[in-house]
Chains A and B, each alone.
Chain A
Amino acid sequence: MTTTAAPAAPAAEAASLTPTLRQLWHRARWFLAAAAVLLVAGLLIAGLGDSTAYPSLDPRSAAPDGTKAVAQLLRAQDITVDTTADADRLATPGGADTVVLPLPDLLTTDQLRALAAAGHRRLVLISPDSTALDLLAPGLHTAGTADLPLAVSSASAVPLCDLPEAQRAGSAELGGRLYQVDADSGATGCYPRQGYPALARTSTTQGTEVLVVGSGRFLTNQRLANDGNAALALGLLGTQPHLTWYLPDYQALPAGTAAPQKSFTDLIPDGWRWAALQLAVATVLAALWRARRLGPVVSEQLPVVVRAAETTEGRARLYHRAKARDRAAEALRRAVRHRLAPVLGVPLGGGDPDPTTLLAALGERLTGHRDPAGPRDLLYGPPPSDDAALLRLADDLDALERQVRQP
């Protein structure tokens, strides 16, 4: 049955909820403004802050492991400091200049040969390996075995040699790779650590003075002010009016690495990579297709669900946990008395019939069926002593009730 009375006729006219362009602009302009402010602020911060990360021992780096400080000191002494990442520039014939070469082993053998032939006045090698030593520093070898060169961490050491720069500087923090000096080569070893020099000087046949240090740590901004580090650095690097600081390409693989293995993607035809890319585009489109809902989810207030019998069930569990056999038995007995009284014609005075009248009526009804003491114990007896007795009592009460109803 549908009643014709419409209690709530449409209150408002139908209206489109799709925003117009003007509404979109009004709604979005503050978000757009906020996004623009964020973007500008980000660009400003990125532009102002010097976030370029230089590798260690880079004369442009002001970081603790950079060497900007020593470069500035050298410039203050009217020495021109150039940096180059181009190994070929090192091969151009030099004049009165110094070349700093960190990790010379990152250069190829040919480059090293060209460098040796270029005839620079002074060459400072920072922790070179045996290849570079063989080509650039005759009479010097790495200490320890070829597989396991001897190296220690930098620590303060005394010169113990007659190298003028070392004598001037006094003790300095040296370490890193340790070297061996051939006795008859005319090379000098200084700052010995564990018996092997951490700084060594030799010269090539072209007249280039080659200085080898095990570690460039004493040149860094962090350590330069310690000990005699600064004096040693200026002594090593500041003898010539030009200084060229080579910036090694740390990404370059050391020479002699095995040929790369072919991976799966190298083996499949080239076109399939593009097809996979196109498939990814299709996946994104499919995601967009599925993500767009046909209108928002409609929510609804749900009613609370409380079962009316919950309190009774809770009471039953309480009885059970407390082993309240007496209360349970009394409840069952009273219910049976309450049901039997009307059947037997006994008045229900205030919910519970009079015991004597009820028992008398019961005895009369059950004469011959049961001993008279049974119903009394059943209806008014002591509480059951254990769980089994309670179960028995419930069954006995049922039996009694059945007997009374159908004698």
Chain B
Amino acid sequence: MALTGRTALLAALGSLVVGLLLPSWTGIGVVGGTVLLGVLADLLLAAPVRTLQLARTGDGAVRLGEPATVTLTVGNPSGRPLRARLRDAWPPSVFRPGTELTASRRRLLVPPGERRRVDVELLPTRRGDHRAHRVTIRSLGPLGLAGRQGSHLVPWTLRALPPFTSRKHLPSRLARLRELDGRTSLLTRGQGTEFDSLREYLPGDDVRSIDWRASARRNTVAVRTWRPERDRHILIVLDTGRTSAGRVGDAPRLDAALDAALLLTALATKAGDRVDLLAHDVRPRGTVLGRSATEVLPAVTNAMALLEPALVETDLRALTAAALRLAPHRSLIVLLTGLDAGPAEDGLLPLLPQLTKRHEVVIAAVADPLLAELATGRGTLPAVYAAAAAEQTQADRRAIAERLTRLGATVLDAPPTALPPALADTYLALKAAGRL
């Protein structure tokens, strides 16, 4: 049960009656009895809460930063009208910031035997699964003095998917891809190219590409052309260890890495390549394997929604082993990790040859724009020391990148906004060079 402000007000007004008319225990008893009778009547006459029929419909998944609507249907099977205050409780981060209180609470009037819909506007501010907590209803009696209160469990899960803000870069990269595909005039054969077609020899073509057998069958001289091989395998490996938890700007490094991985997935799928995903810290956190071209992007997006940085040191040995298991044949392995001196020197450098032996490896790391900002600090002593420290950090990262490059990997170190297009460009460049 629950009381309302009206009960307190009634009791307060009763003090006038007690003070002026009946200054005795009798007066207090009369006023108290009146209030109690009203409260009891309200409790008896309020629509029951337990028998209410609640159901939910609405959005099940939403991109982060976009609003979703979840509809709650409240059915009142009793013979009394339901005058109620309703609270649809969700974790606070699901509501638009600042409206957590107002967005979750409603006043509701459901006539007997009817149903009403309550639309709850949600705007998740955090990636992942958000579960509805419970629906609490306070059903007030006709006098508005008291009400019955109870809760219902109406389960619903809203999945907030990664925002994929870098998808604005997709059209330009797809145009580049079409350009690449349409060129097809690779006259030299190499690794990662496949036979495309025969065409008439034009002056300037490499004579070594003349197909004499085909020329013999026709009257003109024919040359073979090659195109970048399709249906290559790409394995995106996300390091979800402690280095991915560091915040760059307002979001953890992992979010930037997810963005880059999504752009690459979208682009590679369009280019006809197969994309697999592995998220790993000390153990695999999520995998997307062997999906067809149409379903790989939704599957990857869904898998990414639940990834959270784990505050543990990544087991790079286990990560490498898992990656090698998932990529038995020559693949492009894109490793999204950090370039911090410690873990990279101890873990990545000795293990990289295992990967580069058979695979093309791209290592992409999220750089912190704050470092560049710090590096320009001048004027005061702390600022100059901060600049020196930032330069030192950047030099360390460069040194690591240098050593990784020497071991045969392609290293990208770019701030969050620049990393997705940079990774897409690297992929296109590798594809154009036939190195996949």
Contact = CB atoms under 8 A, between A and B. Distances in A.
Contacts of B20: 271, 275
A1 B246 contact: no
Contact of A331 (B60, B302, B371, B392): B392
A312 interface: yes
B161 interface: yes
Contact of B27 (A276, A278, A304): A278
A292 to B, nearest CB: 4
B247 interface: yes
Given A300-B92, A308-B368, A1 B66 contact: yes
A335 B377 CA distance: 14
Contacts of A351: 395, 398-399, 402
A306 B247 contact: yes
B11 A282 contact: yes
A282 B15 contact: yes
Given A7-B61, A278-B18, A332-B388, A312 B246 contact: no
Interface string A368-394: 000000000000000000010011001
Nearest to B391: A335
Interface in A253-283: 270-279, 281-283
Interface in A339-371: 350-351
Interface stretch (A54-62, A140-148, A222-230, A313-321): A313-321
Nearest to A315: B389
Interface string A62-99: 00000000000000000000000000000000000000
Interface stretch (A8-16, A29-37, A185-193): A8-16
- Interface residues on chain B, size class: 35 or more
A395 interface: yes
Chain B contact residues: helix, strand, loop or mixed:
mixed
Interface residues of A, number: 73
Interface stretch (B129-137, B184-192, B345-353): B129-137
A295 B136 contact: yes
Contact of A285 (B11, B16, B23, B159): B11
A277 B25 CA distance: 10
A8 B381 contact: no
Interface string B36-67: 00000000000001111111100111110010
Nearest to B92: A300
B378 A335 contact: no
Looking at A20, A285, A394, which has the most chain B CB atoms within 10 Å of its CB?
A285
Nearest to B49: A18
Interface of A: 1-3, 5-12, 14-18, 20, 270-279, 281-283, 285-286, 288-289, 292, 294-296, 298-300, 303-313, 315-317, 319-320, 327-329, 331-332, 334-335, 338, 350-351, 387, 390-391, 394-395, 398
6 contacts: A2-B66, A2-B68, A7-B61, A294-B149, A332-B384, A395-B378
